[in-house]
Amino acid sequence: METTLRGVGVSHGVAIGEVRHMGTAVLEPPAKQNPAQDTEREQGRAHQAVKAVSADLIARGNLAGGEAQAVLEAQAMMAQDPELMADVERRIAVGSTAERAVYDAFASYRALLAGAGEYLAGRVADLDDVRNRIVARLLGVPMPGVPDSDEPFVLIARDLAPADTALLDPTLVLGFVTEEGGPTSHSAILARALGVPAVVALPGAGELAEGTLIAVDGSSGEIFVEPSAEKRSALERVAAERKAALTASSGPGTTSDGHKVPLLANIGGPADVPAAVEAGAEGVGLFRTEFLFLDDSERAPSEEKQVEAYRQVLTAFPEGRVVVRVLDAGADKPLQFLTPADEPNPALGVRGLRSLLDHPEVLQTQLTALARAAEGLPVHLEVMAPMVADRIDARAFAEACRAAGLRAKYGAMVEIPSAALRARSILREVEFLSLGTNDLAQYTFAADRQVGAVSRLQDPWQPALLDLVAIAAEAAKAEGKSCGVCGEAASDPLLACVLTGLGVTSLSMSATAIPYVRAALATYTLAQCERAAAAARATDTADEARTAAQAVLSGE
């Protein structure tokens, strides 16, 4: 008998297939003691395992590219966290084996953060996955993971570890469903990067029996269990219609009446450029530079190394726009040479621009490298700072850009509510704004993006978040400057139309989302987008906002 379940749709498309569950195992090593004379050897084993796991995560990220690369690089940083390693060494010194010390140190860190309600508390899947990979390597046992199958299937999991998700084979994994996560969780980001339908935050997903036939609608968030032949046909027809619309869509982003909305790509390094070019990206709206800083956690990369990497990306978009975000370290991306090791709440501490202003030599080297990389190229380079809170931050960044001789526009990311509320003040120091809707939602609602229990507050359709976007866009218009969106909100085709109606001047997203957004924008006029935006803001919940916007755009 057909039944319908509803989670949060995070990646467009329809998948129909049998259920396969993610393999799980509790990798808890025995609590045996090691002789005192083995302390140095055990500490060496722990360091070697951490180094190997970190290198493996980075290698997987390089293979996967795109959004997955940035996520895995953050995990690699987590593996090398100096406080965690210091705890591991202390435990070994008092008699634990390397594997038991790692297990207990991670458990202690996890419990501490969960009890304090801090930023990393919700990153259970990431934190546990790093621990399991280190322990598995020390024990010499394989990691549980994606099931083996000769036939395509729909993957079901409590949550998905980025290292597994990044290298999923889309020809076998038709789609996936998770119990945890939210619209901006790592599972959601990686699903969009892979281009597979996905639904997250579905309570009881793990209870679906192995081999059960289900249909996953990644747009609506609906799961149809044992769907009828009629339902399968209807879903396949809708999927075919969407594919046809994507095929017919090409060229620059524009509404049906000719209002231009440049569609840009979010990238994590040079490896992501081909997919962005193939998708028709008009440039790069978010070039994450963290990948360059992972080879050595104790020092920043040389200026020459940075120049080489930046120039690879800049040359790929002649006459195009490339927006580079300077190093965004801290919180879930700690760097030993840059971020404090003893912060009680990393999310609200010294991260992003704050870290760079505390270490001006790191910022100066990066800005100088960008200036050199752009020399002689026709590209339109723009550089922006993460975690700008107010005009003082914006002025400090602008002064650093000028001191480095950077011939580029310099801007500020709006990820903190204060930056949206005082956007006009900030724009007196910088030349553009870029809204990071993931963090902006997180800080607006005090809701960690990795915690499924608060996923409704991470929904980018929340009217309060739309209000902040509108405030920033209106400020930019008043100052005659641009205001783009580079958060995951831009990858939702319907929401992209609403953002356009709010006054956003460009949209940046994963390469796989660009055709969907281009097709949606081409369907409506600017006036329709503006009416949809007004209708969404007039509501009180995310669901009401989405429904109201859809009603306007469908002519109801």
Please give the positions annotated as active site: 186, 486
Nearest to 354 by CA among 318, 375, 381, 329: 329
For 476-511, b/e burial (b = at least 16 CB within 10 A) is: beebebbbbbbbbbbbbbbbbbbbbbbbbbbbbbbb
- At 397, the amino acid letter reads F
Residue 450 and residue 182 in contact, taking contact as beta carbons nearer than 8 Å: yes
Bridge partners (DSSP) of residue 483 are 433
Lay out the sheet containing 153-157: strands in order across: 3-6, 222-225, 213-217, 14-21, 153-157, 173-178, 198-200, 8-11
The C-alpha atoms of residue 281 and residue 48 are separated, in whole angstroms, by 41
Q: How many CB atoms lie within 10 A of CB 228?
A: 12
Sheet strands (E) in 107-205: 153-157, 173-178, 198-200
CA atoms lying within 13 Å on the CB side of residue 161: 21
CA 498 → CA 415, 430, 501, distances in Å?
A: 19, 26, 5
CA atoms lying within 13 Å on the CB side of residue 62: 11
CA atoms lying within 13 Å on the CB side of residue 370: 33
The C-alpha angle with vertex 185 and arms to 179 and 189, in degrees rounded to 5, equals 115
- Cβ neighbours of residue 35 closer than 8 Å, sequence gap 6 or more: none
For 245-259, the DSSP string reads HHHH--SS-B-TT--
Instruction: Tell me the longest C-alpha to C-alpha distance in the chain.
Output: 77
The DSSP element (H or E) to which 409 belongs, if any, is: strand 409-414
The C-alpha angle with vertex 513 and arms to 241 and 486, in degrees rounded to 5, equals 150
CA atoms lying within 13 Å on the CB side of residue 198: 33
Q: Is 65 left (phi over 0), alpha (psi -120 to 50) or beta?
A: left
Residue where the block lists tokens 């919700």:
122
Bridge partners (DSSP) of residue 434 are 413, 484
Nearest to 399 by CA among 410, 386, 415, 388: 410
- Cβ neighbours of residue 86 closer than 8 Å, sequence gap 6 or more: none
